């Protein structure tokens, strides 16, 4: 009998053909099974493609098997390499909770994986990952126009440059030959057209971590991160898939003017979680602090500094009213402008100090509760007016240098920090019309103390060769009294403003007429 003459009955369809047909049908319906409503599965919580959480009950020392208890009735199996990081260190231990994906399930075994790629059919894995939005490991093999070539489960995929990272990709070369986890966005043409995204996965993972942090924000969490971007006012810190912000004022107890003075891109930092806020556009703002995990230098101030003692410090800032000096990182004191010099009136701190100067200062007062400290620059030296009644008694002779010559007299420094006035008429009596040459800076004059006003720190001087200067002294006193009266009277009408020399001359004329 020839082969073509055999007549087959319908009911005898043949075992081989039936099995082939069944296999085709099963393969054709695989994607439909992945898409089916979980409510249609009696054990939907642990069906293939679902994410489950269990407790590690055993890590075999003789094999690569890890047992994970999902519930009282179900224990799953996981490969040991799933709980080992890139450095070969164990990320999980017996008793730890772990979340993974069900990649296969039978009556005898439930197989878990934290990543896709362990089934026998890569296309099945791709479809499962796409529909379950499960992460798949891929290697970036090259770049092309608009993105990257990525090898995923042995198949070539495309990742747009905008989908490669959560931040702007400035240098594509940094990603070449690197392995990352991706989400499968599209699988078409039987796996010949695959689109993947890493940024979407990073955002999802970041949001999950932020949600976890929000639940623990009151636990004073300390986090490790890497400086991703530096601005003048602060730095953005990558905390592992999401960013927190570190303001410049939270970097250190010491003064930090610009963030770049303290941290650089790529620096590893340890920070404390301060708060998490939701912005108007629904985004999460995470505030961080470095100084919150540093010792507050003011907490030990009493053991390091004492009022009345002198210390070295560095000028860190100048203001119109004084200069701020750092005595130790995080501890600053103020030298008020009035505490800068015994010798002259200071109009601005920049006349005697500049930022960066090392100075010796004396602590006047410490207010620990307010974290304030008052300092003095001039009190390092003895006050030249101390014991002035003894040092500058009437009749005491000095040789001093002329500092300036005014219309009413010459200012003469008799000792550093102490200046007296020789009235113009006394200079004229001694030197005639050439008094300007004789009493101009930097000439030296022999002078004698005539009157001391200690409360005002003023000294009236004369010249030893002038035997009768009572009229000049009286004129000076009247002049000073007139100046004092002017400061207390609100003038409603213009008042006479004669010079001190005019007043002295008038007094002398009056004195001569009375003789």
Given a contact cutoff of 8 angstroms between Cβ atoms, the answer to whether 26 and 20 are in contact is no
The pLDDT assigned to 120 comes to: 56
The pLDDT assigned to 511 comes to: 47
**Pairing relationship of beta strands 284-289 and 243-247 according to DSSP bridges:** parallel
Quick one: average pLDDT of 408-420? 87
CA 355 to chain CA mean position, Å: 21
Query: Of 496, 457, 500, which Cα lies nearest the Cα of 477?
Result: 500
Alpha helices in 289-364 (DSSP H): 301-304
Quick one: average pLDDT of 307-331? 91
Place of tokens 């303001």: 247
Q: How far apart are CA 393 and CA 468, in angstroms?
A: 19
Q: How far apart are CA 311 and CA 263, in angstroms?
A: 29
Instruction: Tell me the sheet residues that pair with 144.
Output: 147
State the DSSP string of 258-305: SGGGT--TT-EEEEEEEEEEE-TTS-EEEEEESGGGS--GGGGHHHH-
CA 316 to chain CA mean position, Å: 17
Cis peptide before 442 (omega within 30 of 0): yes
Domains of the chain: 34-113 (2.40.50.140), 122-202 (2.40.50.140), 216-293 (2.40.50.140), 305-380 (2.40.50.140), 388-487+497-509 (2.40.50.140)
Q: How confident is the model at residue 475 (pLDDT cuts 50, 70, 90)?
A: low
Query: Is the pTM of the predicted complex or chain greater than 0.85?
Result: no
Which residues are CB-neighbours of 196 under 8 A, at least 6 positions away? Answer: 136, 138, 150, 152, 157, 158, 159, 163, 182, 183, 184, 185
Read off the pLDDT of residues 66-81 as tens digits, 9 standing for 90 and up.
999 998 889 999 888 8
Q: For residue 116, what is the DSSP state?
A: B
The pLDDT assigned to 302 comes to: 85
Q: How far apart are CA 460 and CA 260, in angstroms?
A: 57
Read off the pLDDT of residues 482-502 as tens digits, 9 standing for 90 and up.
655 655 554 444 444 444 455
Given a contact cutoff of 8 angstroms between Cβ atoms, the answer to whether 374 and 315 are in contact is no
Q: How far apart are CA 67 and CA 442, in angstroms?
A: 96
b/e for 44-62, b at 16 or more Cβ within 10 A? eebbbbbebebebeebeee
The pLDDT assigned to 308 comes to: 85
The pLDDT assigned to 354 comes to: 92
Query: Of 155, 163, 161, 165, which Cα lies nearest the Cα of 194?
Result: 155
Which residues are CB-neighbours of 60 under 8 A, at least 6 positions away? Answer: 66, 80
**Pairing relationship of beta strands 222-231 and 234-238 according to DSSP bridges:** antiparallel
């Amino acid at each position: 009998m020839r082969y073509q003459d055999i007549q087959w009955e319908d009911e005898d369809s043949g075992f081989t053909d039936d099995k082939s047909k069944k296999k085709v049908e099963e393969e054709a319906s695989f994607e439909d099974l992945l898409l089916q409503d979980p409510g249609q599965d009696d054990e939907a919580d642990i069906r293939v493609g679902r994410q489950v959480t269990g407790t590690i009950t055993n890590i075999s020392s003789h094999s690569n098997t890890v047992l994970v208890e999902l519930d009282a009735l179900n224990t799953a199996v996981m490969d040991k390499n799933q709980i080992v990081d890139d450095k070969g260190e164990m990320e999980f231990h017996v008793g730890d909770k772990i979340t993974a994906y069900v990649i296969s399930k039978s009556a005898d075994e439930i197989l878990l994986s934290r990543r896709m790629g362990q089934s026998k059919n890569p296309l099945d894995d791709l479809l499962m990952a796409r529909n379950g939005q499960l992460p798949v490991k891929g290697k970036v093999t090259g770049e092309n126009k608009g993105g990257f070539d990525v090898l995923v489960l042995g198949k070539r995929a495309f990742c747009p440059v905008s989908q490669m990272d959560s931040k702007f990709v400035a240098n594509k070369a940094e990603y070449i030959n690197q392995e990352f986890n991706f989400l499968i966005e599209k699988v078409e043409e039987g796996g010949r057209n695959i689109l993947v995204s890493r940024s979407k996965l990073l955002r999802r993972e970041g949001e999950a971590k932020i949600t976890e942090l929000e639940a623990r924000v009151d636990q004073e969490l300390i986090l490790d991160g890497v400086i991703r971007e530096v601005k003048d006012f602060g730095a953005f810190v990558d905390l592992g898939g999401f960013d927190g912000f570190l303001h410049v004022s939270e970097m250190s107890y010491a003064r930090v003017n610009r963030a770049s003075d303290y941290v650089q891109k790529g620096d590893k930092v340890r920070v404390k979680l301060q708060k998490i806020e939701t912005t108007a556009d629904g985004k999460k703002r995470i505030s961080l602090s470095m100084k919150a995990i540093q010792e507050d230098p003011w907490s030990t101030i009493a053991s390091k500094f004492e009022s009345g003692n002198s210390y070295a410090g560095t000028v860190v800032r100048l203001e119109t009213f004084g200069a701020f000096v750092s005595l130790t990182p995080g501890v600053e004191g103020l030298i008020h402008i009035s505490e800068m010099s015994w010798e002259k009136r200071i109009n601005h701190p920049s006349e005697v100090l500049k930022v960066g100067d090392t100075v010796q200062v004396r602590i006047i007062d410490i207010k620990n509760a307010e974290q304030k400290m008052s300092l003095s620059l001039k009190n390092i030296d003895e006050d030249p007016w101390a014991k002035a009644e003894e040092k500058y008694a009437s009749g005491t002779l000095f040789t001093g240098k002329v500092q300036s010559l005014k219309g009413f007299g010459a200012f003469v420094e008799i000792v550093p920090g102490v200046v007296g006035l020789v009235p113009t008429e006394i200079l004229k009596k001694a030197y005639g019309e050439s008094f300007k040459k004789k009493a101009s800076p930097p000439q030296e004059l022999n002078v004698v103390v005539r009157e001391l006003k200690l409360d005002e720190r003023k000294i009236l001087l004369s010249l030893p060769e002038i035997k009768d200067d009572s009229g000049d002294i009286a004129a000076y006193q009247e002049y000073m009294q007139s100046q004092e009266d002017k400061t207390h009277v609100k003038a409603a009408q213009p008042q006479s403003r004669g010079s001190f020399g005019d007043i002295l001359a008038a007094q002398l004329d009056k004195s001569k007429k009375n003789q």
